[in-house]
Amino acid sequence: RTVYVNGHFVPENEAEISVFDRGFLFADAIYEVTAVLNGRMVGFDGHMARLRRSLRELEMGLPTSDQRLREIHLELIDKNALQEGLVYMQVSRGAADRDFAYPAPGTPASLVMFTQEKSIIDSPVAERGLKIASLPDMRWSRRDIKTVQLLYPSMAKMEAKKRGADDAWLVESGLVTEGTSSNAWIVDNDNTLVTRELSRALLHGITRATVMALANSHDMKVEERGFTIKEAQNAREAFVTSSTALVHPVVAIDERPVGDGTPGPFARELRRLYIEASLNSAD
Ligand code: PMP
């Protein structure tokens, strides 16, 4: 693979990043993952807007323009002949002597990007659905900022696997916040799509926003509110959204089947609409 590090396109085994990089030492870094379908990026502008928001919230500078970031993405896709998969972009506060205080203004940010091949449209999970385990949400309280502090989500995913599930839904004060790397949805007994309202408690998913817009334009009802695990277990359907899962049905939660225990019609239809819209409007 060819990867991008601080201004250079290099073979992955020649890429270097400082041991003093604050992303490495403090998880003082943010990231975005943009899906690539048919060689084209999906929802790039949304990812860019969220990146700028994360940068602002952390008072982190990045001199590179959106236009240049887009060009680097496109060049990486081209150099790696990527048809389907993702582009990962990470911005850290750069390298400086180890100190909790931020380094002096003017310390250059580190910018890293790489591609990863992944089969997204043909996904076995879309056919069989996900089994979910519920776990307490023990992450920090600014989950709206997309930082690389991903240890707890990793631990939760491993714990879910130990319990025979595929992934975890995280619960705080009795309500589901989101999945370890996805937003959580249910379809209630009134056929209303329900997903938690935006706040600092969860990531403002780009796919969540797109699916919400698709639902609205296809006369599906959407309600933004929190829900409990019990409500999800008793819902008609459940599913998750993320850039690389698109829409994945949830068929069981804590070993209880959701609906009839197979992928439901709303999840299937939204996945189809999402793929159709993405292939027609990809950047
Ligand atoms: N929540 C979390 C915690 C995530 O890591 C992700 C994946 N980036 C999402 C939600 C889904 O966000 P998006 O649709 O922007 O990929």
Q: How far is the CA of 189 from the centre of ligand 1 (A)?
A: 26
pLDDT tens-digit readout, 223-244: 999 999 999 999 999 999 999 9
Mutational pocket test of ligand 1: of 44, 171, 243, the residue with most ligand atoms within 8 Å of the beta carbon? 243
Closest CA to 184 of 120, 229, 220: 229
Is 206 exposed, middle or buried, given 0-12, 13-18 or 19+ CB atoms closer than 10 A?
buried
Whole-angstrom distance, CA of residue 71 vs CA of residue 128: 37
Please, where are the H alpha helices in the chain?
22-26, 44-57, 66-79, 124-128, 151-162, 206-217, 229-233, 265-281
Q: Which domains does the chain have, with CATH numbers?
A: 2-117 (3.30.470.10), 124-281 (3.20.10.10)
Whole-angstrom distance, CA of residue 42 vs CA of residue 268: 19
Closest CA to 196 of 158, 240, 237: 240
pTM, rounded to two decimals? 0.97
Whole-angstrom distance, CA of residue 266 vs CA of residue 248: 11
Q: How far is the CA of 86 from the centre of ligand 1 (A)?
A: 13
pLDDT tens-digit readout, 109-166: 999 999 999 999 999 999 999 999 999 999 999 999 999 999 999 999 999 999 999 9
